[in-house]
Structure 1
Amino acid sequence: MITLGDHSGLLQQAVIAAKQASGAPVAAAMAELLATTAAQTDWLGKVDLVIPTPIYWLRRIRRGVNPAERLGAAIAKRLNVKFCPRLLKVARIMRKQSELRIAARRANVRDGFRVRTPHLLTNATVLLVDDVMTSGATANEITGKMRRCGASRVIVAVAARAPRGETGN
């Protein structure tokens, strides 16, 4: 996993700001830092696709933006890799992960995502991008889905990760 750091302090404030429609400058700065970190990661190797974690269409309308998509677009541009913001879609309404305990988070996202064009994943190394990771339930669900569709490797890149031992209620 590639991350900028713990979801606390200034990084936490930046992640929250990037979730707003007005947070484009903050999101751009985080994306540049995350892209630099990814580019300097010697074990990363060749990446074929950058895919953002999708959000439900109604949440996107309310929020005005998908922060993972903002991050992913900048990373793909920096790494000169194909960006696929529509490859994944949310298959059904899910509760906010932040409202749930860890076990409930896994159940909440189970079968919650669909791959629109599975053939693009065949033998691909994918960089899955999200703004924050707490329990890892969403990333694990999506990673499993992409591997079953033929992805050879899925690497997760997040701006912030919940500090160890603080993965939810």
Structure 2
Amino acid sequence: MKAFNHSEKQFFQLLEQHKGIVIKVANAYSNTENDRDDLIQEVSYNLWKSWPNYNPKYKLSTWVYTIALNVSISFYRKHSKRVQMYRAIEEVELELIEAEELDRTEEVHKLLYRFIGRLRPLDRALMLLYLDEQTYDDMAAALGISKTNVATKISRIKKVLKQQFEREERGL
């Protein structure tokens, strides 16, 4: 088997190609612009540290997701008290926004991400991968769980999210 050359140039190309994954994950695990920027930097640093160990027989996007999610979950745990405070402030701000100012699609989108933000870190990561239309195999590989577990969790999470939307519509 030919050795894979893990050059600096290849790394920066990888980062440019997959920056959407890093940003999406960082947005899901941070509530302020500063935290998001810090998290993006932390994920990028960890990708750089892990780059020499990347095995090209694995899908690059799965590798990026795995590192981004692991770093983000760790970040989330370290900052959970701050995150809870910011989430409470964000919810109050969202309630203050008048409904007619928001386009219905935008409102539903914001609600969905707010509800996803309330999920446990693993479930949140799973929904981000699901919304990014990753395959069950890729989700399982990125999160270190079985494909069957992925399917079961997604089904349960969808039910929870549906219930939250129903409660929101009833004004509870």
Q: Does the pair score TM above 0.5?
A: no
User: TM-score if structure 2 supplies the norm length?
Assistant: 0.29
Larger strand percent: 1
Higher relative contact order (CA 8 A, sep 6+): 1
Decide which structure has the larger Cα Rg and report it: 2
User: TM-score if structure 1 supplies the norm length?
Assistant: 0.29
Larger helix percent: 2
